[in-house]
Amino acid sequence: MRYRTLGRTGVQVSTLVLGAMNFGRIGATGQDEADAIIGAALDAGINLIDTADIYPGSEEIVGKAIAGRRDDIVLATKAGLPVDDDRAHRGSSRRWLVTELDNSLRRLGVDHVDLYQIHRWGPATSDEETLSALTDLRTAGKIRHFGSSTFPAHRIVQAQWAAREGRLGRYVTEQPSYSVLQRGIEADVLPVTEEYGMGVLVWSPLASGWLSGAVRAGQEITTHRATLLPDRFDVSVPSNRARMDAVERLVKVADEAGLTLIQLALGFVTAHPAVTSAIIGPRTLDHLRSQLAAADTVLSADVLDAIDKIVAPGVDLAAHEKRDTPPSLLDASLRRR
């Protein structure tokens, strides 16, 4: 396992991060299997576990699994997305963040988290309100550092300036979506995070299963995500046909390099100098083992050049799936008020 410094925090983290979204209702991974996965991940050298309040059951499962090993783990969670239908149970206001952090700590069974992340930027709350609350939670010892997740580049910049102008703590990490098939952040987000010395923990490096080997031309799609999000794997959709074509070409590159597709995909994202770590989200112990095989994968320049010829730098093959679209492009009332 390789390790890198998380931004300018001085914290050393593994280049593979264990994402816990599939623990609980979403991925149907129960406590026993999660215990085995977390134990094997820690034994292999992974030292950062990432979860969130909106992953039903995940925080409770992680909390039970890490009991007795808390000091060995950099523990991260997130808040901000709706946890239920109550309008007050979402967002990044001081009121909600203070309340929900306590809820997360209770579910995790710990007295602090090492990284608390705002799951999405929202226009309803000012940067000053959010950063002031996070700074106070850090002062109180409930969080060690805080970061953002899936923020557009301009919002990352705005938050950095708000922190500076208000003499508040700043976001020290960003958690964007990034894979061989979704490279858009290379054009804006990654240059910005480099400029501000932020750590970057990328999610969906296997593109929801497209790069796991579970999605191949002429074969039954076996990824669990195809059941949850069938439209993302409907090959009659042009963007999905483009992804399928890219996957078949990437498999050839991986074969010629003596790598699995998973090793190619994870080696690609961790090769970018702005990326600290890639978040993997195994549902089973076998999934974890196949992904741990990429822990020490370093791609040669020739392999990286071959990937660039298949999916050009800065290109998203499924741009409509990006989660950082400004709200004004999604809600007509924000364009016409």
- What DSSP assignment string belongs to 306-326? HHHHHS-TT-BTTGGG-S---
pLDDT digits (tens, 9 = 90+) for 123-152: 899 999 999 999 999 999 999 999 999 999
Mean pLDDT of 254-275: 98
Domain ranges, ordered by start, for the chain? 3-209+269-298
Decide: pTM greater than 0.85: yes
Q: What is the residue-wise DSSP string for 51-108?
A: --TTSTTHHHHHHHHHTT-GGG-EEEEEE-S-SSS-TTSSSS-HHHHHHHHHHHHHHH
CA–centroid distance for 78 within its chain: 10
CA-CA-CA-CA torsion sign (102, 105, 111, 112): negative
Using CA atoms of 264, 269, 271, 272 in order, give the dihedral in degrees to the nearest 10.
Answer: 150
* Residues 315, 183 contacting (CB under 8 angstroms): yes
CB atoms under 10 Å from CB of 322, counted, come to 15
DSSP symbol at 24: B
| Element holding 296 (H helix, E strand) | none
pLDDT digits (tens, 9 = 90+) for 155-182: 999 999 999 999 999 999 999 999 999 9
CB atoms under 10 Å from CB of 296, counted, come to 13
Tokens 């239920």 appear where? Answer: 84
Helix/strand/coil for 188:
coil
pLDDT band at 321, cuts 50/70/90?
Answer: confident
CA-CA-CA-CA torsion sign (33, 254, 2, 78): negative
In whole angstroms, give the CA distance from residue 68 to residue 45.
Answer: 17
CB atoms under 10 Å from CB of 54, counted, come to 18
Q: C-alpha distances in angstroms, 329 versus 135, 293, 320?
A: 31, 40, 12
* Closest C-alpha among 179, 171, 131, 167 to residue 153: 171
CA-CA-CA-CA torsion sign (141, 139, 151, 10): negative
Predicted confidence at residue 57, as pLDDT, reads: 97
Q: Are strands 3-5 and 12-14 parallel, antiparallel or unpaired?
A: antiparallel
| 3 in catalytic set | no
Looking at the structure, give the CATH architecture of the domain made up of residues 3-209+269-298: Alpha-Beta Barrel (3.20)
pLDDT digits (tens, 9 = 90+) for 175-223: 999 999 999 999 999 999 999 999 999 999 999 999 999 888 878 877 7
CA–centroid distance for 77 within its chain: 11
Task: Say what angle helices 31-43 and 285-292 make with each other, to 10 degrees.
Answer: 20
Predicted confidence at residue 280, as pLDDT, reads: 98
Mean pLDDT of 28-51: 97
Is the model's pLDDT at 226 over the cut of 90? no
Write down the catalytic residue from 55, 116, 171, 178. Answer: 55
| Element holding 25 (H helix, E strand) | none
